[in-house]
A and B are shown apart, each in its own frame.
Chain A
């Protein structure tokens, strides 16, 4: 799918805005997950704002996305607002009672295709969507966005084994490989070892890419779409907390409320409030 320089510039500007507004929402809520929301920014923004076909959130032939790493919900919500599926001002209600924006994605939020939050089980649900869409004769594609810490969960590898068996070339998994989980780095907590070789051994088409490079990501998604008979996994090298120097690569910012000083400093680094 073509990505013109102009469109790339627009998407980069959107990413910057989304980063700021997501941090603002998490700061206001005094609860949420900044690190993983920032690392997945380009992945979700490119998919929702450029590649995915979603004429309406209930269109049966729409492309689907399962945010398996459901704690990055604020970045998904900001993207759904941009699509027009949620009211523009609802980011202010993140994690509050009565809000459409639950702490983790819920099915009653327009644009959310599957509840998520408990790690490990999203890829298998995306697989079910891919099977069902093929049975329906739909050309829609299904995206499953996983965290790297999530790969500790055994259930991920159940789905990694079954999706190639069912030849789901309409399924694309993306690993937000930011190398940091809650308690420390992935190397410290549970080494992932040779991720590319692991997915290849399970029968996947594997693409490795810089997960903050929109052009490279776009090409990776092109490669996924061009691949027949097997699902694709895009291992996207990212930086946890990307864009805010003191959050980058820091496990401490996985799921921490943002205090006023840190918030102001972060916003200044991102070029000031909108």
Chain B
């Protein structure tokens, strides 16, 4: 059934390595965890373990890209997007260099390691950078596509990956398009715009609400930047109530991106934000963390009802 997103990424990266000799891979002493090791074992001459030195790693990738290589940079999401941020901004993005940043453990997926290892502000940082694209896979097929797209696209890409297993959502032959969202469930009363694991929670919520006669539409954003503005505005206008759901702080993430689109389009739909509510998280089992911080199906369903009540 489902498969850990990091495993899909690691396998796909190794496939890409066989197809394109310009692909090089860097890791900061976490290749066993990020699964970049799969590539490293097959292509040791194109794999660079930089030690625990994230800034060095991202800058090195910028240099590699500037001479024609396609570097994939790997470490835990939180370290990549904090310690690696100055190089990402000043070299990768300002230079518009062909670097792929793969944040392995998004949100609370490195659950037991606690708040220091949870990545809950990364989208805010990455989507604010000019030239950067931000992609969040939600299942094995989309993770495979996102990894391949990153390699094919000329320019900086941020892949928000997960340590966790996500259920299958899309058939293997599904066609994805850059910058395009997917409606994964049609509905008329409220739209949930979700990313990553929250797409699955939103689908569960839609089932719960269907039993109460409420029709919920679920949109998998997939690309937070660029965002599928046309589809977002149309869905919000159609249902008149909106929930944004993400494993990220409520400030600056996918929900903020949706709100920007709706404000600009003049769609005045009441909107609820499901995410980390401006707090630091805790240690715990992943599912209990998702429930504790209001990121489960029940929380999404409750948010949908609140949004609908405010229509």
B-contacting residues of A (Cβ < 8 Å)? 60, 64, 66, 106-107, 113-118, 120-133, 135-136, 138, 154-155, 158-159, 161-162, 166
Asked if residues A131 and B64 are in contact (CB atoms below 8 Å), the reply is yes
Establish whether residues B64 and A128, one from each chain, have CB atoms under 8 Å apart when the complex forms. yes
Report the bound CA distance from A60 to B65 in whole Å: 12
Cα–Cα, bound, A113→B94 (Å): 12
The reply to whether B59 and A124 form a contact with Cβ atoms under 8 Å apart is: yes
CB pair B90–A118 under 8 Å, yes or no, is yes
Once the chains bind, are B63 and A125 in contact (CB under 8 Å)?
Answer: yes
Kindly state the interface size class of chain B when it binds its partner: 20 to 34
B90 CB, nearest partner CB in chain A, Å:
5
Q: Are A132 and B56 in contact, CB atoms less than 8 angstroms apart?
A: no
**With known contacts A106-B94, A121-B91, A155-B56, A129–B63 Cβ distance under 8 A:** yes
Docked CA distance A230–B61 (Å): 20
B50 at the interface (CB under 8 A from A): yes
Decide: A60 and B67 in contact? CB cutoff 8 A.
yes
B residues 68-83 touching A (CB-CB < 8 Å)? 68-69, 71
CA distance A270 to B68 in the complex (A): 43
A111-B311 Cα distance, complex, nearest whole Å? 57
User: Measured between C-beta atoms, what is the minimum distance from A109 to chain B in Å?
Assistant: 11
B63 in complex: contacting residue of A114, A155, A158, A161, CB < 8 Å: A114
A-B contacts at CB below 8 angstroms, number: 109
How far apart sit A249 and B96, CA to CA, in the bound complex (Å)?
37
- Chain A CB within 8 A of B60 CB: yes
Contacts of B48 in A (CB 8 A): 131, 166
Give the Cβ gap from B91 to chain A, nearest Cβ, in Å.
6
Shortest distance between the CB of A232 and any CB in chain B (Å)? 17
B68/A128 in contact, CB under 8 A: no
Q: Inside 8 A of B50's CB, which chain A residues have their CB? A: 158, 162
Q: Are B53 and A126 in contact, CB atoms less than 8 angstroms apart?
A: no
| Chain A residues closer than 8 Å to B45, beta-carbon distance | 135
List, in ascending order, chain B residues with CB within 8 A of A121's CB: 55, 59, 86-87, 90-91
What is the bound-complex CA distance between A101 and B196, given in angstroms?
A: 43
Are A113 and B90 in contact, with the CB atoms below 8 A?
Answer: no
Q: B86 to chain A: which residues have CB within 8 Å?
A: 118, 121, 155
Q: Are A132 and B96 in contact (CB under 8 A)?
A: no
- Kindly provide the distance from the CB of B86 to the nearest chain A CB, expressed in whole angstroms: 6
